[in-house]
Amino acid sequence: MQKSFIPNSFEVPRFFETTDFHFRVLEDAVAELDYEAVMSSQKRLKGIFGPGTEWPKSNMTIEENIASLKVHKQEFESREAFAYSVFSGSKGKCLGSIYIDPSQSPSYDCDVYLWVRDDSVTLDKELYQTVLNWLQEHWPFSQIAFPGRSITWEEWAKELTAV
């Protein structure tokens, strides 16, 4: 039997608030706002999950986005992975997303990916630092990988081939 991603006793937060950000479970209820954020930033987001990844496709439909968000919500509910929508502090604008996944490497507890829409890219470093602090202070992780950020894609590829 595979080791659990997080302890059963850990209560996974459904929301997190700071002055600048509001995180909430990524789900189909925010599909239109999420879709607009993704598609307005589609070119820059290519490869956010690694070199050669296809997401987001330039012709992605709202229906495909809804289906993807339903998968993220199901993974959240079953405690397999945790994805959050990032909204402005006022909660009026979808700024991006955060994905917290079981690590593909035995050296780390989780792999974290995040993105910010093009017109809010100046918030990228602040979001990264906010997420890092949140995970270190409020989650049961000691080794957190941010592939493409805290570890280069080249180093990450070596990490995964060493398994």
Specify the CATH number for the domain of residue 79: 3.40.630.30
pLDDT: which is higher, 163 or 108: 108
Q: What is the pLDDT of residue 3?
A: 56
Q: What is the pLDDT of residue 62?
A: 96
- The answer on pLDDT for 1 being more than 60 is no
Residue 84's domain spans which residues? 15-161
Could you check whether the bond before residue 56 is cis, i.e. omega within 30 degrees of 0? yes
- What is residue 119's DSSP assignment? G
5: in domain: no
Burial of 93 (0-12, 13-18, 19+ CB in 10 A): middle
89: in domain: yes
1: in domain: no
62: in domain: yes
Contact assessment for residue 21 and residue 92, using Cβ atoms and an 8 Å cutoff: no
- What is residue 101's DSSP assignment? E
Q: What is the pLDDT of residue 163?
A: 61
Give the count of domains, the chain.
1
58: in domain: yes
Interval 6-18 mean pLDDT: 94
- The answer on pLDDT for 86 being more than 70 is yes
3: in domain: no
Q: What is the pLDDT of residue 5?
A: 84
Q: What is the pTM of this model?
A: 0.94
Residue 40 belongs to what H/E stretch?
A: helix 31-40
150: in domain: yes
39: in domain: yes
Contact assessment for residue 60 and residue 38, using Cβ atoms and an 8 Å cutoff: yes
Percent of the chain scored above 90 by pLDDT?
84
Residue with tokens 């995040």, as numbered in its chain: 114
